[in-house]
A and B are shown apart, each in its own frame.
Chain A
């Protein structure tokens, strides 16, 4: 990491020195030379493929193609490689991958981090990369000793020949190993032989995150770099009509004021003069069609849209007919707001556009898109452009932008002012900058038979699509249904014979995007609170009711059983405390939460305890899995209790953490995460902890107050005792 960002060596990087020795599988050295070349100086290295570099100092460097935004790929992916390689874990290091097709996501075909896929999508590929390297080192050692490779074994960074009691460290083997041909077929380990995979392993990136040395995008420094703040339209879709830069330029430290696609940039010696300059800048905006956007009016519009049939996402049996026949009918309307990702590190990007090339430093989840955008903006050739991935101060989807807007801004400014530029977004820029989780309006009608079992479910979802009109459309939108809008609703796991779900696309305009667990953020809330209503209407226990509707072999049932046992579901609670449950599958993992909460007479909600059971299939680093679920719980509680972006006269009302609050230490409940042993298919863990939180909390609040929460965030005034 620090090597790649050691900018005093920029000239060296720019020269694009090709790596010396070493074999590269499917990678063009001219492009990924920037990262490997640096280490070449230190001694001889063995580069068996794009993911591994072994030095004569025995250090094994794993090149990680998934961005580190808290979810731990800089440890998890090296664990996969190191186990197959039988490496000495204390000598394993990580390095972020440069942009190269060799590092494309094994499923998406683009270099991208998202969808809770980093571990399972690399499970086969990087383990195989480790096994190939191991096989080459064994062959090298066997050749050296004149013995059969099959008589050698590997352990802890050594090839060992027991019969002759000889051993060579991997570092001692790098010279000749580099000359060998990688084998075509290698066998990866039987899980029973794993030594690192499955063991709680300390994260490799912790040291640099606790001593101030870790470099996030906002920390990048270049000689002669200037800082820019951009005045963007206060209304989405608005344009600059005219501007007067005289007062801005009068601020000491302001160097330039330039217009770019998305607004007017004030370029200065540092953040403070740039901010003062932007405050002094006079811009006349053409607000455009969203000038009157208002959340209340928008809500009415969504309610009208919910009257009309949408694109069908699921249709089992005949829901309309069954609804008419039911013994009991329950109807509910849900309104869930726009949400901001609010990453702790506000958006930023550093770009240096030169006549002969361009370097971009950015904490990004979408290298391919940002790289291509840079090529397009600069008019340079792809091999003249380098994009360096820094640490990400939170991502949650916000740094996987399909239009690369935060990269384009920096590149455009640097191109105009001919200097390295760091664009920093203030917290307000970030909060009001869009790309929100879409507002989601759901209606559900359900009917129960005489026994209380659900016989019909009709659900309509009204929300925007952030996929329509993008290159992702052909993959994600099928038969007019945007999968990101209906996921979690169209795959309801409960036995309901007549089940209908459709989607009404709300008018576009407000920029929206995937936010940690995407469509599941709203779908799980609707489905799992409605299930609770049905259980209540049937006069049955919410856990027993769910269990009766789940397939006996389902993984939902597995985690539901585990969580109710761990949380002692049904046991007495202190006075004034209620329990709620929710179970939900997303991104291939199955999570159930039990939340214990109380509500004060003033309507203030206190979350006391969250117990969670997780089935994500085989686990690579158990502690990271737990950490991700813990974090998901906090993310979900923040959204349930506080999250809301609203509009008045076209403008976003919220701007900073005082009016878009986050859960804080004093509100943190006791959290217990239990991993359920599972040999089923591996899922992700970055996102799936989030969806069941809000419904489990709302169900707990119902248990203690008898009041149903159907709109988020939870409002104190609605829970206040009259």
Chain B
């Protein structure tokens, strides 16, 4: 049995320890917002936060997450999640939408560490997330907007 904390709730799970965290999140906990794209940390669709750090859950054995905080798109805290979601809607970022959970989770980490990212910061933080529909320049625009919203929100 492994102890896991997902989106603030503690769980014990009985799975093979080499199972990638992605499949425990999706299949054991039914949180399907985190997506399977490549299985080898190439596309970023499976991005979640492990103790606040963006990781690729498709190559992270569940045992590595034991006793740590896992945050998925469903549990993204409002202080980070809300500005991002508002910006994503304002810019109409998603097309098919499949990669967007991963994009938002990567962007959340970026904004937490760099509240006012430059285009170069965005390139650096977001180049691990593939979008086959090609929404990159809207993702970029939305991250800048979310940064604005977050700053304004903080001043209120």
How many whole Å from A397's CB to the nearest CB in chain B?
13
**B132 A662 Cβ-Cβ under 8 A:** yes
Q: Answer yes or no: B32 CB below 8 A from chain A CBs.
A: yes
Q: Answer yes or no: B115 CB below 8 A from chain A CBs.
A: no
C-alpha gap A592/B76 in the complex (Å): 41
**A657 B130 Cβ-Cβ under 8 A:** yes
Interface string of A85-125 (1 = CB under 8 A from B): 00000000000000000000000000000000000000000
**A665 B136 Cβ-Cβ under 8 A:** yes
Which residues in window 192-231 of A have CB below 8 A to B?
202-203, 205-216, 218-219, 221, 227
**With A252-B16, A631-B134, A665-B129 as contacts: A209 and B100 at CB distance below 8 Å:** yes
List chain B residues, Cβ under 8 A from A662. Answer: 43, 130, 132
Residue of A nearest to B43 (CB): A657
C-alpha gap A213/B100 in the complex (Å): 12
Q: Answer yes or no: A480 CB below 8 A from chain B CBs.
A: no
**B97 A214 Cβ-Cβ under 8 A:** yes
Residue of B nearest to A207 (CB): B89
Which residues in window 131-154 of B have CB below 8 A to A?
131-140
For the complex, count residues of B whose C-beta is within 8 A of A. Answer: 59
C-alpha gap A634/B55 in the complex (Å): 26
C-alpha gap A426/B42 in the complex (Å): 13
**A211 B43 Cβ-Cβ under 8 A:** no
Pick the residue among A252, A393, A668 that contacts B35 (CB under 8 A).
A393
Q: Answer yes or no: A394 CB below 8 A from chain B CBs.
A: yes
C-alpha gap A630/B94 in the complex (Å): 12
Which residues in window 662-677 of A have CB below 8 A to B?
662-666, 668, 670-671
List chain B residues, Cβ under 8 A from A543. Answer: none
C-alpha gap A638/B131 in the complex (Å): 11
**B30 A668 Cβ-Cβ under 8 A:** no
C-alpha gap A233/B82 in the complex (Å): 47
Chain A's interface size range is 35 or more
Interface string of A616-633 (1 = CB under 8 A from B): 000000011001101111
C-alpha gap A393/B46 in the complex (Å): 14
Interface string of A432-472 (1 = CB under 8 A from B): 00000000000000000000000000000000000000000
C-alpha gap A426/B40 in the complex (Å): 10
Q: Answer yes or no: B122 CB below 8 A from chain A CBs.
A: yes
Residue of B nearest to A630 (CB): B134
List chain A residues, Cβ under 8 A from B39. Answer: 426-427, 656
**A344 B132 Cβ-Cβ under 8 A:** yes
Q: Answer yes or no: A71 CB below 8 A from chain B CBs.
A: yes
List chain A residues, Cβ under 8 A from B20. Answer: 272
**B42 A392 Cβ-Cβ under 8 A:** no
C-alpha gap A272/B15 in the complex (Å): 10
List chain A residues, Cβ under 8 A from B88. Answer: 206, 210
Q: Answer yes or no: B104 CB below 8 A from chain A CBs.
A: yes
List chain B residues, Cβ under 8 A from A624. Answer: 92
Q: Answer yes or no: B57 CB below 8 A from chain A CBs.
A: no
**B37 A427 Cβ-Cβ under 8 A:** yes
**A212 B73 Cβ-Cβ under 8 A:** yes
List chain B residues, Cβ under 8 A from A263. Answer: none
Q: Answer yes or no: A709 CB below 8 A from chain B CBs.
A: no
How many whole Å from A96's CB to the nearest CB in chain B?
14
C-alpha gap A633/B135 in the complex (Å): 10
Residue of A nearest to B124 (CB): A666
C-alpha gap A512/B19 in the complex (Å): 35
**A656 B38 Cβ-Cβ under 8 A:** yes
**A671 B96 Cβ-Cβ under 8 A:** no
Most buried by B among A216, A668, A670: A668
**A272 B35 Cβ-Cβ under 8 A:** no
**With A203-B92, A215-B32 as contacts: A657 and B97 at CB distance below 8 Å:** no
Interface string of B14-25 (1 = CB under 8 A from A): 011011100100
Q: Answer yes or no: A713 CB below 8 A from chain B CBs.
A: no
**A344 B99 Cβ-Cβ under 8 A:** yes
List chain A residues, Cβ under 8 A from B74. Answer: 211-213
**With A212-B72, A271-B27, A657-B38 as contacts: A665 and B140 at CB distance below 8 Å:** yes
Residue of B nearest to A669 (CB): B137
**A271 B92 Cβ-Cβ under 8 A:** no
Q: Answer yes or no: A484 CB below 8 A from chain B CBs.
A: no
Q: Answer yes or no: A658 CB below 8 A from chain B CBs.
A: yes
**With A252-B16, A253-B16, A665-B122 as contacts: A344 and B33 at CB distance below 8 Å:** no
**A205 B97 Cβ-Cβ under 8 A:** yes
List chain A residues, Cβ under 8 A from B134. Answer: 630-635, 638, 663
C-alpha gap A264/B57 in the complex (Å): 28
Interface string of B89-110 (1 = CB under 8 A from A): 1001111111111001000000
Which residues in window 394-409 of A have CB below 8 A to B?
394-396
**B36 A394 Cβ-Cβ under 8 A:** no
**B139 A665 Cβ-Cβ under 8 A:** yes
Q: Answer yes or no: A310 CB below 8 A from chain B CBs.
A: no
Pick the residue among A203, A211, A635, A664 that contacts B33 (CB under 8 A).
A211
**B33 A666 Cβ-Cβ under 8 A:** no
Q: Answer yes or no: B66 CB below 8 A from chain A CBs.
A: no
How many whole Å from B94's CB to the nearest CB in chain A?
4
C-alpha gap A219/B29 in the complex (Å): 12
Interface string of A261-286 (1 = CB under 8 A from B): 00000000011110000000000000
Q: Answer yes or no: B45 CB below 8 A from chain A CBs.
A: yes
C-alpha gap A213/B16 in the complex (Å): 27
Pick the residue among B26, B85, B98 that contacts A393 (CB under 8 A).
B98
**B19 A344 Cβ-Cβ under 8 A:** no
Q: Answer yes or no: A683 CB below 8 A from chain B CBs.
A: no
List chain B residues, Cβ under 8 A from A394. Answer: 96, 98, 132-133
Q: Answer yes or no: B114 CB below 8 A from chain A CBs.
A: no
**With A70-B133, A270-B23, A665-B123 as contacts: A206 and B35 at CB distance below 8 Å:** no
**A212 B37 Cβ-Cβ under 8 A:** no
**A630 B19 Cβ-Cβ under 8 A:** no
**A393 B32 Cβ-Cβ under 8 A:** no
Q: Answer yes or no: B126 CB below 8 A from chain A CBs.
A: yes
**With A214-B97, A657-B38 as contacts: A627 and B136 at CB distance below 8 Å:** no
**B35 A345 Cβ-Cβ under 8 A:** yes
C-alpha gap A628/B138 in the complex (Å): 12
How many whole Å from A361's CB to the nearest CB in chain B?
13
C-alpha gap A100/B97 in the complex (Å): 27
**B73 A427 Cβ-Cβ under 8 A:** no
Q: Answer yes or no: B80 CB below 8 A from chain A CBs.
A: no
Q: Answer yes or no: A420 CB below 8 A from chain B CBs.
A: no
Most buried by A among B100, B104, B134, B135: B134
Which residues in window 372-418 of A have CB below 8 A to B?
391-396
Interface string of B53-90 (1 = CB under 8 A from A): 00000000000000000001110000000001100110
**B92 A665 Cβ-Cβ under 8 A:** no
Interface string of A631-653 (1 = CB under 8 A from B): 11111001000000000000000
How many whole Å from A168's CB to the nearest CB in chain B?
32
List chain A residues, Cβ under 8 A from B31. Answer: 212
Q: Answer yes or no: A346 CB below 8 A from chain B CBs.
A: yes
**With A209-B97, A345-B98 as contacts: A202 and B89 at CB distance below 8 Å:** yes
**A216 B16 Cβ-Cβ under 8 A:** no
**8 CB < 8 A contacts A-B:** A206-B92, A207-B89, A210-B100, A272-B20, A272-B23, A624-B92, A656-B40, A671-B137
Q: A344-B131, A664-B129 given. 19 additional CB < 8 A pairs?
A: A206-B93, A206-B97, A210-B104, A212-B32, A212-B33, A221-B30, A270-B23, A272-B16, A344-B99, A344-B133, A391-B98, A393-B35, A393-B97, A394-B133, A623-B92, A627-B95, A631-B135, A658-B40, A668-B137
Smallest CB-CB A-B distances: 5 pairs: A212-B33, A634-B134, A209-B97, A393-B98, A70-B95
